[in-house]
Amino acid sequence: MNKQALFLGCTVSGRALNYEMSSRKVAEKCGIELVDIADFGCCGYPVANADHDTYVTMAARNLALAEKEGCDVVALCSACLGSLAKVRKSLNEDTEEKDKVNKILADQGLEFKGTARVRHFMHVIYEDVGPERLKELFTVDVSSLKVAPHYGCHYMKPHEIFEGLDDPVAPHTLDDLISATGAEAVDYAYKLRCCGGGVLAVDENAPINLVHHKLKDVKAVGADIIALVCPFCAVMYDEYQSTVEDKKEEEFGIPVLYLPQLLGLAMGFDWKKDLLINKNAVKAKKLLQEKGLLDQGGDQ
Amino acid sequence: MIIDQRIRKKYARIKLPLSGRLEGVGYLGGMDISNSEKAQERPVDANDLAPDFVEEIASHKGGENIRLCFTCGTCSAICPMAEVDERYDPRRIIRMAVLGMREEVLSSDFIWLCSDCYSCHEHCPQNVKINALITVIKNIAAKEGHLPSSLKEGIKIIKKQGRMTEISEFENRQRAKYDLEDLTETVPGVSEVIEKCKTLEKVGGEDK
């Protein structure tokens, strides 16, 4: 198996140390070796709306860097994932464009060949470890938690680029991973609803309404937490939750965990020191205390 | 011809571009493109249309399937954005593009409301690849100076730092606390790509 290069992208690098740290802990426990490539930069996604050529070249640059190290790519951010996977497929099917991109990359001593596979960290956990083997690594009973999975969009769509890793309209992998911990993965009407983060820079109202719908729904089904796998979804549901509460004059207080933070809890990692759950915007401490999940963590 | 307000009201709810017939141009009058009173009263003049707009879109990677759209409206029904913001309606954008309403589409605020969620992509029975299509339209709009300033600023930041978010000593001190390796504060290779692709020049955001 190829080595896995961890692609942090912009959002995780700048504002999701909790996601990065918990993912590294979970990877280590699962025996997945993650390689860091210092030259990785923006995946290109924020430029896609403005200029196709730049977007494609920026994405291909990162892929070429991974290829040079003989690595596949593991993304934590679903937007990065979608961006890199899409460009990989697109260039592999278009020699002319590939040559054009490689002309620019040649100046950096790079060449995009299209060999590095691109997956989300959760795809890797699901495919290479799997729920059954994962169960052997869980030592803490988290079965009292009701968890609302949030897939986000680019984790499984468009289906063409993900080689059947999950179903685009009836995804199950995150539910399966949550269930493997013993926690209950709850179904809810707005489960597949987009977080709206993609338009936040242009318009705040629409995303706030989208987030509001989901929070209402999650509350209605009585979930304790939302578990997600993209730092931008976390911006919307976690960091923006208080804004939505203010604007809609409705309280939610629903903690939002990155799925690796939940997996990490079940693996017995310290909620604070290892998983940085204290850095999540909506405070989860009280809930975790009530569920008896801070006992082994050395909490003060 | 003045459009019957009752008909307009009825059809406005289901957002079908059928609510009026204008002399000479057929069924265009109901295309309420901005929801403003003024736009509702302004008839579409066939002379202002750009019939080759659809070809222009189809010539870009991602826009090839625009002609396959048979306006079933599945995209608009599944679109989360359309549910929370009436300005956004993917089927209407495609109809406007096919009809050649180039200026109205490119200068609109609504094309930027696509959240890129791929719901339409997964449900479209005609494989129009609507996300990609809207992105093509955004790219054309950007090159004509319509890129929202926030997105333009974003590109400038990426050009400077190689990332959208800033990495400084502060972030690296935080990382050190958890035994994580430093991140580089800038990524020159990214800046070089933006420079070589003449990105900011193309979208009218070149530094003075």
Q: What is the pLDDT of residues A260-272, one digit of tens each?
A: 999 999 999 999 9
Q: Is the pLDDT of residue A68 over 80?
A: yes
Q: Distance, in angstroms, between B147 CA and closest chain A CA? A: 7
- Sheet containing strand A225-228, strands side by side: A184-185, A146-150, A225-228, A256-258
H runs (alpha helix) in B52-187: 53-58, 74-78, 80-84, 90-99, 102-106, 119-123, 130-143, 149-161, 169-177
- In angstroms, rounded to a whole number, what is the distance separating the alpha carbons of residues A178 and A260? 10
Confidence class for position A2, pLDDT limits 50, 70, 90: low
* pLDDT given at position B21: 35
* pLDDT given at position B207: 56
Q: Is the pLDDT of residue B7 over 90?
A: no
- Mean per-residue pLDDT for A70-93? 98
* pLDDT given at position B4: 46
> What is the pTM for the complete model shown?
0.91
Q: Distance, in angstroms, between A83 CA and closest chain B CA? A: 11
Q: Which residues of B touch A42 (CB under 8 A)?
A: 158, 162-164, 187, 190
Better-scored residue on pLDDT, B27 or A153: A153
Contact with chain A for residue B181, Cβ under 8 A = yes
- In angstroms, rounded to a whole number, what is the distance separating the alpha carbons of residues A138 and A153? 28
Q: Is the pLDDT of residue A189 over 70?
A: yes
* pLDDT given at position B37: 53
Q: Distance, in angstroms, between A132 CA and closest chain B CA? A: 30
pLDDT tens-digit series, residues A115-171: 999 999 999 999 999 999 999 999 999 999 999 999 999 999 999 999 899 999 999
**Which of B75, B117, B135 is most worth mutating to test chain A (most A CB atoms within 10 A of its CB)?**
B117
Q: Is the pLDDT of residue B17 over 70?
A: no
Task: Count interface pairs A-B at CB distance under 8 A.
Answer: 182
Q: What angle do CA B147, B148, B151 make, to 5 degrees?
A: 90
pLDDT tens-digit series, residues A4-47: 999 999 999 999 999 999 999 999 999 999 999 999 999 999 99
Q: What percent of chain B has pLDDT over 90?
A: 75
- In angstroms, rounded to a whole number, what is the distance separating the alpha carbons of residues A51 and B190? 14
pLDDT tens-digit series, residues B159-189: 999 999 999 999 999 999 999 999 999 999 9
Q: Which residues of B touch A46 (CB under 8 A)?
A: 151, 154-155, 158, 164
Q: Which residues of B touch A10 (CB under 8 A)?
A: 158, 163-165
Window from A162-166, B6-10, B145-149 with minimum mean pLDDT: B6-10
**Cβ <8 Å between A54 and B193:** yes
Domain with CATH 1.10.1060 in chain B: 2-143
Q: Which residues of B touch A24 (CB under 8 A)?
A: 180
Tokens of B138: 């955004």
**Cβ <8 Å between B115 and A197:** yes
Burial class of residue B22, CB neighbours in 10 A (0-12, 13-18, 19+): middle
Tokens of B21: 């017939």
Window from A3-17, A26-40, A285-299, B51-65 with minimum mean pLDDT: A285-299
Confidence class for position A297, pLDDT limits 50, 70, 90: very low
Q: Which of A13, A48, A51 sits opposite B203 (nearest CB)?
A: A51
Per CATH, the number for B2-143 is: 1.10.1060
* pLDDT given at position B41: 59
Contact with chain A for residue B117, Cβ under 8 A = yes
Q: Compare all CA atoms of chain A with the CA of B196 and give the residue at the minimum distance.
A: A104
**Cβ <8 Å between B193 and A61:** yes
Contact with chain A for residue B168, Cβ under 8 A = no
Contacting residues for A109 by C-beta, under 8 A, at least 6 apart: none
pLDDT tens-digit series, residues B101-112: 999 999 999 999
* pLDDT given at position A1: 59
Q: Is the pLDDT of residue B12 over 80?
A: no
Q: Distance, in angstroms, between A44 CA and closest chain B CA? A: 9
**Cβ <8 Å between B187 and A39:** yes
* pLDDT given at position B47: 87
Confidence class for position B1, pLDDT limits 50, 70, 90: very low
Q: Which of B122, B162, B183 sits opposite A159 (nearest CB)?
A: B122
- Mean per-residue pLDDT for B144-169? 96
Confidence class for position A296, pLDDT limits 50, 70, 90: low
Q: Which residues of B touch A107 (CB under 8 A)?
A: 192, 196
Q: Which residues of B touch A48 (CB under 8 A)?
A: 135
Q: Which residues of A touch B193 (CB under 8 A)?
A: 54, 57-58, 61, 104
**Cβ <8 Å between B164 and A10:** yes
- In angstroms, rounded to a whole number, what is the distance separating the alpha carbons of residues A156 and A164? 9
Residue B176: count other Cβ atoms within 10 Å of its Cβ: 11
Q: Which of B180, B193, B203 sits opposite A50 (nearest CB)?
A: B203
Alpha-carbon dihedral B124, B127, B131, B136, rounded to 10 degrees: -140
Evaluated on CA atoms A263, A264, A265, A267, the torsion sign reads: positive
Alpha-carbon dihedral A147, A148, A153, A156, rounded to 10 degrees: 50
Window from A51-60, A82-91, A180-189, B198-207 with minimum mean pLDDT: B198-207
Q: Is the pLDDT of residue B115 over 50?
A: yes
**Which of B116, B158, B198 is most worth mutating to test chain A (most A CB atoms within 10 A of its CB)?**
B116
- Mean per-residue pLDDT for A57-64? 98
A119: β partners: A74
Tracing tokens 């003024």 back to the chain, one arrives at B38
CB of B189 within 8 A of CB of A67? Answer: no
DSSP A165-177: SS-SSS--HHHHH
Alpha-carbon dihedral A77, A80, A81, A82, rounded to 10 degrees: 120
One-letter amino acid of A186: V
Q: Is the pLDDT of residue B59 over 80?
A: yes
